[in-house]
Structure 1
Amino acid sequence: MSTAEEQHGPGRRTLLRAAAAGGTVTAAATAATAVPAQAAQAAAGRRFDTGSPRFALAVLPDTQYLFDADSADPAPLRETFRHLVADRSGANIAFMTHLGDVTEHGTEDEIRRAAQTFRTLHGKVPYSVLAGNHDIASSTDDQRGDSAYLREFGPRRYASMPTFKGASPDGYNSHHIVRAGGRDWLVLALDWRISDKGLTWAQGVLDAHSALPAVLTTHDLALPEGDGSARLSEHGQRLWDGLIRANDQIFLALGGHYWPPGRTVLTNDAGHDVHVHITNYQDRYYGGAGMIRTYGFDLARGVIDVETFAPWFLSRDPARRTALEAETVELTGAADRFSLSIDFDGRFAGFAPVVPPKPRPASAVLPRGTLAYWRFDASGMRTVPDGGAVADGAVVRDLSGHGNDLTVARLHDSGSEALTWSAEHHPGQPAHASLRFDGGTTPDRGAILRTGARAPLNSEKFLRGYTIETFVRLPEPFEGDHSWMGVLSWEGRNGDAGKTTGWSPLEPTCSLNLSPERFLQFVVYPHRQDADPTSWSHAVPVGRWMHLAVVNDGRRTVMYVDGSRIARNPAQPSTGIATLGKPFVLGATQFDEAFGQGFYGWIGDTRIVGRALRQEDFLTPFG
């Protein structure tokens, strides 16, 4: 649109969502008239990973200057679509949404050219398109009836797409459900001037899919403030008051129409953030050259990383780009490249709360070769109230049935607070309980759980390999001196086992410890070799549960943190563990057969298996 239109004309915006409601034109109802181009490939995503926590939503704003009567040039947009198809697997592109003003005048010729250009994308990446004020008679709303735009970009265009779930009876509004990041997302694509009937339809879609997070797209949503910020336009305010603010599902709303780009964060009726963005580059060189913005969702990191670039210029030899192409190939200003921090589980908890997994019985986590399994709920021990002291002499049963029971003992003159029972647990842990250890060096204090003198685990050599797993959480803040505190170990001196290569002959034959820098250290003196291969992790976090696993296949040892293999695993041969018939201990490490400090933090379910397990077979499955 022109500057004059920006001041006086209406704007446009697209609402992305997916839902089925009364009066909806469904995908099934329009399937018979589906656009045929590559529709057979409408599995539209054989290379797309629906389960990955990282995926992208591609956003394409106003392309009107590329379809402007006889000055049309669809080449930039074709290259954008080729890029999305080629990079769908690499960037894990879930969906593309156009924000309206596909064309400059909305003539049959312009609309037809644009529709033909979209065939480059059709059947390969699912998408939505909505009408902007240049695509239809701008004085009308979505009850305008037939138009060249509706004939080409109405419901029948999307009918072959598995993401398309229906359109409003007038055909100008659509909704889509996108499977990405292991969950469904609703995309609402709304006409530039949605009527009251349209709003009723959209509310019905939201109500029918009330547990889905939603992205709303429309043409006219927000006005730029000139400093990278934005505020709602008149039509955007109508959408906010009539739809967005009362529906907590809508967390992201995207519009074009105005320039330059800008963004703001509004608070909805539930007290939650709604991110409102203007995306439009038609004022840039070559009418924006089909420039796209990608919203890279990373559910693991809790961020959306936003980037803006022009695939048409990107595809050219950098040495041969003109000055204007070079400066437009990528936009890196604060309004075009940024990250949004979103606690997705927390943000969506009001309408789609995370259902914690139920406890799993011990019988479900005893794979072949299990030598010991301890847990701290009622199946493994006599529990006390949350925060209550676990008494010396309390027994934690070995649920594998091999008799490797653990008995509680406090170190030195530690008080009752040195070991307490806790209902806290890793979300993927089989048992919903843990023990809270309050060890430290000032003065030396702590508590341990130790096998009995005749426990089979004391003398197990693990010649066929082993997997040692536990769940750990470090307190936040991590206060005091806890240097080289032990998580677990076998008692005894490695020198007594005939080992000569280690840091000291007085350290135990196997232990998992934490360095002053919070690096995990697994040091083992193998039964077969005179060596001490040691694995080192990165600096592990505080205030968060971790799953730790040490896996030995009879040849070498590998440590995993939260299912991820760490880098510093030694290549040295390592067969078995040089145990000395002395107890296995949870909660501390000896030196010269004496305990100093104990562990500081929480320890959950702990399991030892006499063979190497795959990651998908860990206590909380990975992979």
Structure 2
Amino acid sequence: MPEHTENHDRPGLSRRGFLAASGAVGALAAAGMGSAAPAAASPSTAGPLIAAASSAQAASTSAVSAKKWSPDLPSPRFTFAVMPDTQYMFDGASIDPKPLRASLHYLLSEQKRQNIVFLAHLGDLTQNGAAAEMAASGAEFAVLDKAGAAYSVLAGNHDIDSSTDDQRGQTAYLDVFGPSRFSGSDSFVDSSPDGYNTAHRFTAAGREWLVLALDWRTSSGGLAWAHSVLAAHPESPVILTSHTLVDSAADGSAAFDEYGQGLWDSFIASHDQIFLTLNGHYWGPGRTTAVNAAGHTVDLHLTNYQNRYYGGAAMIRLYHFDMERNVIDVETLSPFLIDGGLKTPNELAEQETSLSGDIDRFTVQIDFTERFSAFAPVAARPARSAQSMLVSGTTAYWRFDGQPNGATVSGSTRVADLSGNGNDLIVAGRPGAVAGALLWSDTHHPDQPGAGSLALTGGRPGGDYLKTVDQAPLNSNQFLRGYTVEAFLFLPATFDGSANGFCALLSQSSSAGEAGKAHSSSGDPQEPSVTLSLSGDRELQWCVYPASQDGSLTNWGHELPLAAWWHVAIVNNGKHTTMFVDGCPVARNPSTTNNGLAVVGQPWLLGGYNYGGKLDQVFVGNIGDVRLAERALDPSEFMIA
């Protein structure tokens, strides 16, 4: 960092932060990470120093040599690690590699548990760019090379002559961290001809991601090279790293510096693939966003802790991506200080081991599908044939595709049971049903086999529904050998729990009393003998009267967000019943042994709910494919699989 940018007393900078709960950090001491304070060295003793550093590095490397880099490539959850300015660990005679070593070993130790896929260093590896400093730093990174880790580095202004751009020629930085260091790595993509700008890749969440590591000052030629890299990988999301781009204010906000504004205008803004930029250099972390030429938001983050105790102690920032939750959870920690790397505890170290301020620990909300749609749209899952859905034991299968979107379902409609078992559905023809109470829709769950659904819009006042024909074999099937009931559903934003609560996706028209149940134990003889409903709190409820007992048995789901599609599966293996929502088991699955369903030959209702022999509720929302099987299906056999 140049003199004019240093800020030794930035007001409002929090000393508090967050440490991820992890037992792995404690293991660092066993790997030799907790040794005492550094020994002084001078440029004249560079040879012995480098030899000693290499020896120490080799010894510590052996402790983690078995830990090979092996990310879980398909997982929707992964971690991208960031390390800012470590220059004060490598400053002339004051070389202490142990903090850096601790952080690198932490990443290897935690790689599998946190699914760490990449480490990006943000520059200023050293204070003076001297050969001895650079060699000592490079010796520590050898542990990542040996493990086959994916990582990038870039030159900060302290690593080279800050008055030059990437055409400066050979330097100690290039000798140690040039392209030749990465050329054998599967994650290395390319470097600019000068060697100071590099591109790297990693695979996570089943797709390729790029890291573009740009020099302290990238020339027009360097940017032309960067353009070509992105052109060669047009569908890859890009994280751009640069030593400087935005500077921070005391409140944790950030704004472009002069160089950063130029880089934004000339390069970043025109490349929609770049969704996140990371830089160090300035003291005090900060973040902001900017809108690119495509109208999309780019997150711009500054990370640097060198002004804090022990030169920042090689703090690392972990970006935990969760592609299913559409978030990046960010935390900051120093494995060296956490694990007592100074051996003797001291107050300043204690203040640095837990950073919990909102500039150090925060969550970034990103709808990844939408953000990447312009350059890497997610292809819709194609419809699957009805025949392919007829798993062994299928007793009924209904789907609602192939109809004009928004058209009214006529009263004469007959929805065929695609299993071929004759369990067809007909319109109930409810007296007083409003016009358009049943509509065909082409909306559907993204993993639904059929590309359509039935929209039920009338609700309790004037809704209509479907029911099985009187002669359907399903009406008298007690499923004594087990069962699986699956359905796709959509809850509109207008769903009102007070008005629409306890409406059913699927239910029996017979009551518990008619089925000979609920007379001597728990239950209500007036309610359906079988119902898959939604409570007033939008909790899925499978309330049934098993053939094996007099009282009811209920599986409960959790509150479902509105304006979203869901898949529910109820599985009974002949002894126990489990509810799954989107393939995940819910908490309130009773352990009660039960078998079969109490039915007495009356129709099943799709979207209707009877109470006391009369229609009480009609579902409001969309119902997609529905399938029943007379055996317990494994989740790998569900329609969403």
Q: Which residue of 2 aligns with 1:331?
A: 355
State the one-letter code of the partner of 2:260: G
Q: For structure 1, which segment, 396-405 or 221-230, has the greater mean C-alpha deviation from structure 2 after superposition? A: 221-230
Q: Which residue of 2 aligns with 1:27?
A: none
Pairs within 5 Å for 1:125-204: 125-204=149-228
Question: What TM-score, normalized to structure 2?
Answer: 0.88
Shift of 1:3: 4.1
Shift of 1:67: 0.4
Q: Which residue of 2 aligns with 1:513?
A: 533
State the one-letter code of the partner of 2:577: T
Q: Which residue of 1 aligns with 2:141?
A: 118
Contact residue 106 and residue 136 of structure 1 kept, 8 A: yes
Give 3-state SS (helix, strand or coil) of 1:399's partner: coil
Give 3-state SS (helix, strand or coil) of 1:481's partner: helix
Structure 2 CA distance for aligned equivalents of residues 138 and 326 of structure 1: 35
Q: Is 1:455 the counterpart of 2:455 in the alignment?
A: no
Structure 2 CA distance for aligned equivalents of residues 561 and 317 of structure 1: 46
The aligned length equals 585
Contact residue 130 and residue 192 of structure 1 kept, 8 A: yes
State the one-letter code of the partner of 2:107: L
Q: Which residue of 2 aligns with 1:472?
A: 489
Q: Compared with structure 1, are the counterparts of its residues 271 and 42 closer, same or farther at alpha carbon in structure 2 (3 Å cutoff)?
A: farther
State the one-letter code of the partner of 2:192: S
Contiguous gaps of at least 5 residues in structure 2: 8-57
Structure 1 CA distance for aligned equivalents of residues 568 and 227 of structure 2: 46
Structure 1 CA distance for aligned equivalents of residues 358 and 528 of structure 2: 55
Q: Which residue of 2 aligns with 1:4?
A: 4
State the one-letter code of the partner of 1:490: Q
Structure 1 CA distance for aligned equivalents of residues 344 and 552 of structure 2: 57
Matching residue within 579, 586, 592 for 2:612 = 592
Cα deviations by residue, 1:109-136 (Å, 9 ceiling, x for unpaired):
1111001111233333321011111112
Q: Is 1:527 the counterpart of 2:550 in the alignment?
A: no
Q: Is 1:557 the counterpart of 2:577 in the alignment?
A: yes
Contact residue 177 and residue 184 of structure 1 kept, 8 A: yes
Shift of 1:511: 0.7
Matching residue within 90, 94, 116 for 2:117 = 94
Alignment RMSD (CA, Å): 2.1
Shift of 1:44: 4.9
Q: Compared with structure 1, are the counterparts of its residues 302 and 597 closer, same or farther at alpha carbon in structure 2 (3 Å cutoff)?
A: same
Structure 2 CA distance for aligned equivalents of residues 428 and 318 of structure 1: 53
Contact residue 478 and residue 597 of structure 2 kept, 8 A: yes
Contact residue 297 and residue 305 of structure 1 kept, 8 A: yes
Q: Which residue of 2 aligns with 1:54?
A: 77
Contact residue 123 and residue 161 of structure 1 kept, 8 A: no
Contact residue 394 and residue 419 of structure 2 kept, 8 A: yes
Shift of 1:593: 2.3
Q: Compared with structure 1, are the counterparts of its residues 439 and 571 closer, same or farther at alpha carbon in structure 2 (3 Å cutoff)?
A: farther
Contact residue 529 and residue 573 of structure 1 kept, 8 A: no
Q: Compared with structure 1, are the counterparts of its residues 52 and 559 closer, same or farther at alpha carbon in structure 2 (3 Å cutoff)?
A: same
Give 3-state SS (helix, strand or coil) of 1:57's partner: strand
Pairs within 5 Å for 1:191-590: 191-316=215-340, 321-378=345-402, 383=403, 385-441=404-460, 443=461, 445-479=462-496, 481-500=499-518, 501-590=521-610
Shift of 1:317: 9.3
Q: Which residue of 1 aligns with 2:36?
A: none
Contact residue 135 and residue 176 of structure 2 kept, 8 A: yes
Question: What TM-score, normalized to structure 1?
Answer: 0.90
Q: Compared with structure 1, are the counterparts of its residues 415 and 453 closer, same or farther at alpha carbon in structure 2 (3 Å cutoff)?
A: same
Q: Which residue of 2 aligns with 1:26?
A: none
Shift of 1:318: 12
Q: Compared with structure 1, are the counterparts of its residues 146 and 43 closer, same or farther at alpha carbon in structure 2 (3 Å cutoff)?
A: farther
Contact residue 69 and residue 108 of structure 2 kept, 8 A: no
Shift of 1:41: 8.1
Give 3-state SS (helix, strand or coil) of 1:596's partner: strand
Give 3-state SS (helix, strand or coil) of 1:82's partner: helix
Structure 1 CA distance for aligned equivalents of residues 506 and 94 of structure 2: 73
Shift of 1:421: 1.0
Shift of 1:411: 2.4
Q: Compared with structure 1, are the counterparts of its residues 300 and 321 closer, same or farther at alpha carbon in structure 2 (3 Å cutoff)?
A: farther
Q: Compared with structure 1, are the counterparts of its residues 454 and 502 closer, same or farther at alpha carbon in structure 2 (3 Å cutoff)?
A: farther
Q: Compared with structure 1, are the counterparts of its residues 607 and 256 closer, same or farther at alpha carbon in structure 2 (3 Å cutoff)?
A: same
State the one-letter code of the partner of 2:284: P
Cα deviations by residue, 1:279-306 (Å, 9 ceiling, x for unpaired):
1111010000001111111111111111
Shift of 1:319: 11
Shift of 1:65: 0.4
Contiguous gaps of at least 5 residues in structure 1: 8-35
Q: Which residue of 2 aligns with 1:108?
A: 131
Contact residue 2 and residue 157 of structure 2 kept, 8 A: no
Q: Which residue of 2 aligns with 1:14?
A: none
Q: Is 1:617 the counterpart of 2:617 in the alignment?
A: no
Shift of 1:530: 2.8
State the one-letter code of the partner of 1:487: L
Give 3-state SS (helix, strand or coil) of 2:295's partner: coil
Structure 1 CA distance for aligned equivalents of residues 524 and 265 of structure 2: 71
Structure 1 CA distance for aligned equivalents of residues 635 and 69 of structure 2: 27
Structure 1 CA distance for aligned equivalents of residues 495 and 517 of structure 2: 35
Give 3-state SS (helix, strand or coil) of 2:499's partner: coil
Cα deviations by residue, 1:123-181 (Å, 9 ceiling, x for unpaired):
33321011111112222211222221111111121223221112112111111111112
Contact residue 313 and residue 321 of structure 1 kept, 8 A: no
Q: Compared with structure 1, are the counterparts of its residues 190 and 210 closer, same or farther at alpha carbon in structure 2 (3 Å cutoff)?
A: same
Q: Compared with structure 1, are the counterparts of its residues 486 and 85 closer, same or farther at alpha carbon in structure 2 (3 Å cutoff)?
A: same
State the one-letter code of the partner of 1:488: L
Give 3-state SS (helix, strand or coil) of 1:417's partner: coil
Shift of 1:55: 1.1
